[in-house]
Amino acid sequence: MAKKLLKGNEAIAEAAVRAGLQAYFGYPITPQTELLEYLARRMPDLQRTFLQAESEVAAINMVYGAACTGQRVMTSSSSPGISLMMEGLSYIAGSEVPCVLVDVMRGGPGLGNIAPAQGDYHQIVKGGGHGDFRMIVLAPATVQEAVDLTGLAFDLADKYLMVSVVLLDGSLGQMMEPAELPPLRDPARPEPEWALTGARGRAKRVVTSIHLVPEDEEVFNQKLQAKYAAIKAAEVRYHEYQTDDADLIVVGFGTAGRVAQTAVKQARALGLKVGLHRPLTLFPFPEQRLADLAQRARAFLVVEMNAGQMVEDVRLAVNGRAPVKFYGRMGGVVPLPDEVLEQIKQLAETVGHTPHHSPVSCLPLDGAIA
Amino acid sequence: MQIEIIISGFGGQGALFAGQILAYAAMDSGRHVTWIPSYGPEMRGGTAHCTVVIADDEIGSPLVRYPAAVIAMNQPSLDKYEPLVASGGVLVVNASLTTRRPERSDLRRVAIPANAVAEELGNVRLANIVLTGALLAATGALPVEAVEQALAAHLPERHRHLLGANSQALRRGAALAAAVTA
């Protein structure tokens, strides 16, 4: 199929439609509004549900209710609106029903501004809602990835009965880039055995997040944790550029990772052995791959559009085998390639004369801590 | 090969549209391209700019500090971007709405009275297309024909009656750029 020039927000909306989205509930907020606006036109044409709720709190609870029927459902918002949804997301996680959430991040905290940012990493990846739950988090950096990962988000939500999040910043939502859309999938699907569709003629089903007996709640939590472990084992995805022989590894997700790739290319032209690791899944996080890269790399540089959030997960994965430096811009400021190149040069200078491996990094990685 | 272009002007001058037409033309020519607008709580008469990156290979950053080419459609845009154009790059200036000539001698400078030219062509709103034609001639980023074809293929139905005028504006801008160096 031919490529089309698509705006990130609209590309995600159309990708969701093609993945079989049956019902969308949302509330407008910049820089995400084109997504909602697009679906306001598109969904009624297909006799599917589009509903502009009275607030984000209402929208996520409508998503919760609709998800209980086994249909493909979605909402989208931007950072402050996502904060309002956190209670509902915890309930959805505790009820094990599937849905997709799109967060087009903007500058914060508070009302902040409408410029691109990545300050929601902790909120989305670590769970801003209460209780021990995780959400699958996919982080596109291009419009094509936004299309592809939106389709994947629905499939993973259904597979694991949980919330899948597409996490991007406002600049990707506003950017136009050629991308290829998948064919329109038939939204008709067999009814899941847990779906609440009216109990006439069959035994009743229960979807709930209440387990009043602590031992029962613990058993349920163990089931969730087993599910998250299975996801960590099976669903890690990332993009790499020139990491094969790299001494320095730059890590960034979404737009920050993409900007960093240009800096890595420029650093290569200067003869520096630099590579880029860009996680596509933030949960599950590519921790094993980063640990493997740390066996060879002398140092890591993490670039984010926040005060340093994902860098904590990189440090856990690298586990002291190499220094992990951070460079971030905040408040809606996007780092530019020349800034990242300067950081790479400084890091190369710092580690250039140190031994290739510290003694601790000579330990075999697999099995050493068994 | 990669070229980064910033098109900047007042809101309503068509800076974002000019960038989109370049993006369509680049895509239809099989090139990689990104188009990213400035966005904010803005209104007609405020400032608006977009960044277009056109490349033969995968594009990393869609944003740059030092673009290879700039179209400055008004005085604030000239003041802001003249210092930022990469050395050896191209600076296209709308002489109709600027009070000074571009100063840097390490750039290919093209000053065109785009509003006046567009008015001669019958519609002052073609000034952005005149400047785009000048940019194409000065940079060789894309053939003028590729942009003409993109206009024909992607211009919304309600604007299709302007296709001929747009072609004229592109070609006039390209011809002036070939002749004029500020």
pLDDT digits (tens, 9 = 90+) for A223-262: 999 999 999 999 999 999 999 999 999 999 999 999 999 9
Question: Does pLDDT of A358 surpass 80?
Answer: no
Question: In the prediction, which pLDDT does B32 show?
Answer: 98
Confidence of residue A1 (pLDDT cuts 50, 70, 90): low
Question: In the prediction, which pLDDT does A264 show?
Answer: 98
Amino acid at A236: V
Q: Whole-angstrom Cα distance, residue A264 to residue A67? A: 42
Question: In the prediction, which pLDDT does B42 show?
Answer: 65
Minimal-distance CA residue of chain B relative to A5: B24
Minimal-distance CA residue of chain A relative to B20: A176
Cβ atoms A195, A205 nearer than 8 A: yes
- What global pTM score does this model have? 0.94
Task: Give the tokens for residue B130.
Answer: 């005149």
Instruction: Choose from B33, B42, B63 for mutation: most chain A CBs within 10 A.
Output: B63
**Residue range(s) in chain A whose domain bears CATH number 3.40.50.920:** 239-351
Question: Does pLDDT of A370 surpass 50?
Answer: no
Q: Which CATH number fits domain A4-234: 3.40.50.970, 3.40.190.290, 2.40.50.140, 3.30.530.20?
A: 3.40.50.970
Minimal-distance CA residue of chain B relative to A175: B36
CATH 3.40.190.80 fits A239-351, yes or no: no
**Residue range(s) in chain A whose domain bears CATH number 3.40.50.970:** 4-234
Instruction: Choose from A144, A145, A176, A250 for mutation: most chain B CBs within 10 A.
Output: A176
Confidence of residue B181 (pLDDT cuts 50, 70, 90): low
Contact flag A177-B60 (C-beta cutoff 8 Å): no
Question: In the prediction, which pLDDT does A368 show?
Answer: 37
Question: Does pLDDT of B43 surpass 70?
Answer: no
In the predicted model, what is the mean pLDDT of chain A? 94
Q: Alpha helices of A46-128 — where are they, by DSSP H?
A: 56-67, 79-84, 86-95, 121
Task: Give the tokens for residue A318.
Answer: 């690298």
B154 contacts in A (CB within 8 Å)? 5
Contact flag A265-B36 (C-beta cutoff 8 Å): no
The closest CB to that of B40, out of A114, A260, A262, belongs to A114
Question: Does pLDDT of A366 surpass 60?
Answer: no
- Could you read off the pLDDT of B114-143 as tens digits, one per residue? 999 999 999 999 999 999 999 999 999 999
Question: In the prediction, which pLDDT does A101 show?
Answer: 98
Average pLDDT over residues B88-112: 97
Question: In the prediction, which pLDDT does A277 show?
Answer: 98
Question: Does pLDDT of A174 surpass 50?
Answer: yes
Q: Whole-angstrom Cα distance, residue B126 to residue B14? A: 9
Q: Alpha helices of A19-177 — where are they, by DSSP H?
A: 33-45, 56-67, 79-84, 86-95, 121, 143-160, 170-174
How many other CB atoms are there within 10 angstroms of residue A99's CB atom? 30
Average pLDDT over residues B82-103: 97
